Amino acid sequence: MHMIIRKIDVKTVVTKSNLPVSDYSINPYVGCSHACKYCYASFMKKFTGHDEEWGNFLDVKFWDKIKNPQRYAGKSFFMSSVTDPYNPQEEIYKRTREFLETFQGVDINLSLQTKSDLILRDLDLIKTFKNVRVGFSINTLDENFKDDMDNAVSIARRLEAMKILHEAGIRTTCFISPIFPGITDVVAIIDATKNFCNLVWLENLNLRGNFKPKILQYVKEKFPELMPLYDEIYRRKNMRYWFELNEIVADYAEKNNLEYVRNRDDLQRDFDAPPVIVNFFFHEQIKKHQ
């Protein structure tokens, strides 16, 4: 894959966030070279003017010096919402590191979300933040399926990086997203990570936009036996699969002395070991059935 890389100047990298877990979003790049086939952020092309296929371009942001970063003390930052702060190109351009260096010593609540072990490069810097969490997106333990879905580092490398960060005293999150019905083994992933993560987030596969037919075609070719299930969920809007999975995870949590939170109301707690499992998938519907 030939990556088209551009350098762009922006006024600021600090933008107000629409996410329920943060005040500000930090996106050091436009686009993402991990090229996840299910990436919801591909909608950004409508606003950026890129004609290239999602995953084939990356704009590297250079922003004006942030004056008085102390004014953001007490605020929460999510890095990143529509890109990965540790794209492979971060090794060269160090835009994420630039942000971390600027805010070093400022009492912000910082969440970093990635699919890359490049984050270990900044471990010493990350450790200087009092309130910091690092999340890894992992939706399979099958490296072949992972390779079909994205260009990021292996699952084994993500797990090892999570373990290193956890052992270094950094709070870690395993973000099981998106959950592919019949393909993602949620319990196996929780079981593999529960000893070195503080929090597990769950999110269902939400098929929308132009990647919906691509994903359905992939399932048809690689997992034809699952097509009736996908038809039920994504054409007939039958939520039964998610409710059953919800109960499976809740049962696993109870048997393994893990706490299972069925909605997002308690997200601001301090999540210490053992890990807390937060049910993120179809949260609007599940609240109606409690």
Q: pLDDT tens, position by position, for the chain (290 residues)?
A: 578 999 999 999 999 988 777 899 999 999 999 999 988 766 665 666 677 777 788 999 999 999 999 999 999 999 988 899 999 999 999 999 999 999 999 999 999 999 999 999 999 999 999 999 999 999 999 999 999 999 999 999 999 999 999 999 999 999 999 999 999 999 999 999 999 999 999 999 988 777 889 999 999 999 999 999 999 999 999 999 999 999 999 999 999 999 898 765 555 555 555 788 887 765 445 433 33
Task: Return all residues near 94 (Cβ < 8 A) that are at least 6 apart.
Answer: none
Q: Which of 281, 273, 223, 219 is nearest to 250 (CA)?
A: 281
The pLDDT value given to residue 53: 77
Per the CB < 8 A criterion, the answer to whether 170 and 126 are in contact is yes
Q: Specify if 37 maps to a domain.
A: no
Q: Specify if 211 maps to a domain.
A: yes
Q: Peptide bond preceding 178: is omega within 30 degrees of 0, i.e. cis?
A: yes
Q: Which of 286, 243, 245, 244 is nearest to 264 (CA)?
A: 286
Q: Cα Rg for the chain, rounded, in angstroms?
A: 19
Whole-angstrom Cα distance, residue 5 to residue 58? 5
Helical packing angle, 240-255 and 227-234, nearest 10°:
110
Domain span including residue 218? 67-288
Q: Specify if 4 maps to a domain.
A: no
Q: Specify if 36 maps to a domain.
A: no
Q: Specify if 125 maps to a domain.
A: yes
Per the CB < 8 A criterion, the answer to whether 226 and 182 are in contact is yes
The pLDDT value given to residue 48: 67
Q: Specify if 80 maps to a domain.
A: yes
Residue 188: give its domain's CATH number. Answer: 3.80.30.30
Q: Specify if 61 maps to a domain.
A: no
Q: Specify if 8 maps to a domain.
A: no
DSSP strand pairing (57-63 vs 76-79): unpaired
Count up the domains in the chain and report the number. Answer: 1
